Amino acid sequence: MHTGPHYTAPQRPSGPSGGRNVALLIGGISFALVFLLIVGATVGYLVLRSSGGGAGGEGGGGSASASQTTISSEPVSTEPSTTPPPESSPPEEEKLCWSASDERVSQNPSGRLRGGGLEMVPPAGFDSRSNRTFLAFTTDAQMASAPIEGTWVSSIMVGKIEWQPGVEYPGDKAASERLISCLFANASIWGDTSQRTLHDQVTEAVTVAGMPGYRTTATLKFGKHNFEKFESTRLEVVVVSTPEGPSVFASDVAIGVTEHEDGATEAYKSLTGLSG
């Protein structure tokens, strides 16, 4: 026991086991913080990588889209052409008596006259030759003529029918009748005569050397003239379907001049197709 005033001695620090516990606590907290930082960084990296890949994909898709043609859904208005259509020439008006060219393409065989697809033997006395024609719708003509009086002649001819371009050929019958009408109406070949009239017109089917055709004949009378040997002429047009196309024989001979009338008859009888 103690018998005087009490004295409190200073306490000594804790022993070794208490300091070790504090160090472990601090270390644990530090480890946890580091772990959280690592995990957070990893998660952030993965998120950023995922977002970057998506953006890259979209960017790639955007680049591909940029190279594609954009098709608008809006209707496209088409402006009407301002270029006027080419002007077409109006068809030529049909002429009653159309004049073909005087072009000569055939050559006469020995002793015969040729025109189109027909040939004939020229009769005696018809010694003059001409490629010109007094007939409408006729080309490739060969004409033989014989004098009557003054500048007047009787004539016979062969040639090729050439109808007006753009106008349908009416057929051999209508063609023979049209040519007679045009021959009568051609005042330039009747000189100073006047009061001309046409009589006794007849059209008939014929066969020439096995080829079908039509023959139209008529008499042309001169009301006023100064002729001595005749006062009328006999007109004849024969249109024949030949292998070379429609062809024509025609004659205009003074009535009353027997040798001319006989010559025209002989020429018609001598008609054939081409001899080669």
Q: Quick: pLDDT tens for 102-144.
A: 899 999 999 999 999 999 999 999 999 999 888 999 999 999 9
In angstroms, the CA 100 to CA 135 distance is 9
Q: What is the pLDDT of residue 228?
A: 92
**Contact, 184 vs 218, CB < 8 A?**
yes
Q: What is the pLDDT of residue 276?
A: 74
**Helix, coil or strand: residue 201:** strand
Q: Which of 164, 154, 249, 237 is closest to 209 using CA atoms?
A: 249
pLDDT beyond 70 at 89: no
Please report the DSSP string for 115-154 in residue order. Answer: ETTEEEPPPTT--EEES--SSTTEEEEEEEEEEEETTEEE
In terms of pTM, does the model score above 0.75?
no
Q: How many CB atoms lie within 10 A of CB 243?
A: 9
Q: What is the pLDDT of residue 202?
A: 98
Lowest-pLDDT choice from 91-105, 111-125, 159-173, 180-194? 91-105
Q: What is the pLDDT of residue 148?
A: 96
pLDDT beyond 60 at 31: yes
Q: What is the pLDDT of residue 47?
A: 56
The answer for residues whose C-beta is within 8 angstroms of residue 190's C-beta and 6 or more apart is: 196, 222
Cβ-based burial of 221 (10 A; exposed 0-12, middle 13-18, buried ≥19): middle
pLDDT tens by residue, 192-232: 999 999 999 999 999 999 999 999 999 999 999 999 999 99
Percent of the chain with pLDDT over 90: 64
Lowest-pLDDT choice from 64-68, 75-79, 166-170, 174-178? 64-68
Mean pLDDT over 159-172 rounds to 98
**Helix, coil or strand: residue 255:** coil
Identity of the amino acid at 126: F
In angstroms, the CA 104 to CA 110 distance is 17
pLDDT tens by residue, 251-264: 999 999 999 999 99
Q: What is the pLDDT of residue 51?
A: 57
Alpha carbons within 13 A on the beta-carbon side of 128: 12
Alpha carbons within 13 A on the beta-carbon side of 227: 24
Identity of the amino acid at 168: E
Strand 245-254 versus strand 128-130 pairing type: unpaired
pLDDT confidence tier of residue 74, bands split at 50, 70 and 90: low
Q: What is the pLDDT of residue 38?
A: 74
